[in-house]
Amino acid sequence: MPFCQIPSRLRYQIVRQLGEGSAVVYQARTNEVGLPQMVALKATTVERALHEAHILASLQHPSIPRFYDLVVDDLLAYVVMEYIEGETLTQYLDAYLAQRALPPMQQVLSMGIQLCAVLDYLHMRQPPITFRDVKPGNVMLSADRRLFLIDFDIACTHLARAGCHPIPPADGLSPANGHEASSSGSCLWTPPHATAAGADVDD
């Protein structure tokens, strides 16, 4: 497997690709003291990586992946963070939809409470942080059904009398043709039930 050598002299061995969207995320292995054996590497533009690393490094919450390191390599940078073994909320919901079933009510309530708790934590920060991209694909569920909010590259910190300016999508990683993009650069998400045959979708 290929290794990437980074300025801090830590070495990461790419195990597999986990996902691809506005960035590419890999599972990686490291033997460095003080780090878990498995970590997640998020490859994106230097600007986005610096932004996300700055935010993640300032946060400590059970529903937010821990930040470990930042790798800068020419035009790309890699945010090294906690690896979450599990599935996205999109995958979780799709499994039930494929069976024409609904998730257990108790699990739905638990996930809703966890999501509200982590968003409240962000909003109560000083200065407050707005995540700006809450959707099933940015929510991870661990094997024990703990919820994690992922993908902080367009989150923003609100400073006094200052606006929250989005980072533009990386070249070649813009929303796919045919999908409308929000002001943050993310494709607008429509719940599965709203796209069922005969259902109306608001503009």
Could you list the active site residues? Answer: 133
Interatomic CA distance for residues 81 and 143, integer angstroms? 18
Number of Cβ atoms within 10 Å of the Cβ of 43: 20
How far CA 3 is from CA of 44, 77, 96, 129, 191, in Å, comes to: 17, 15, 38, 34, 39
Question: Counting beta carbons within 10 angstroms of the beta carbon of residue 182, is it exposed (0 to 12), middle (13 to 18) or buried (19 or more)?
Answer: middle
State the pairing for strand pair 38-45/76-82: antiparallel
How far is it between the farthest Cα atoms of the chain? 57
Task: Determine contact, residues 110/145, Cβ cutoff 8 Å.
Answer: yes
Q: Cα–Cα distance between 177 and 1 in angstroms, integer? A: 34
Q: What phi and psi, each to the nearest 5 degrees, are found at residue 166?
A: -70, 155
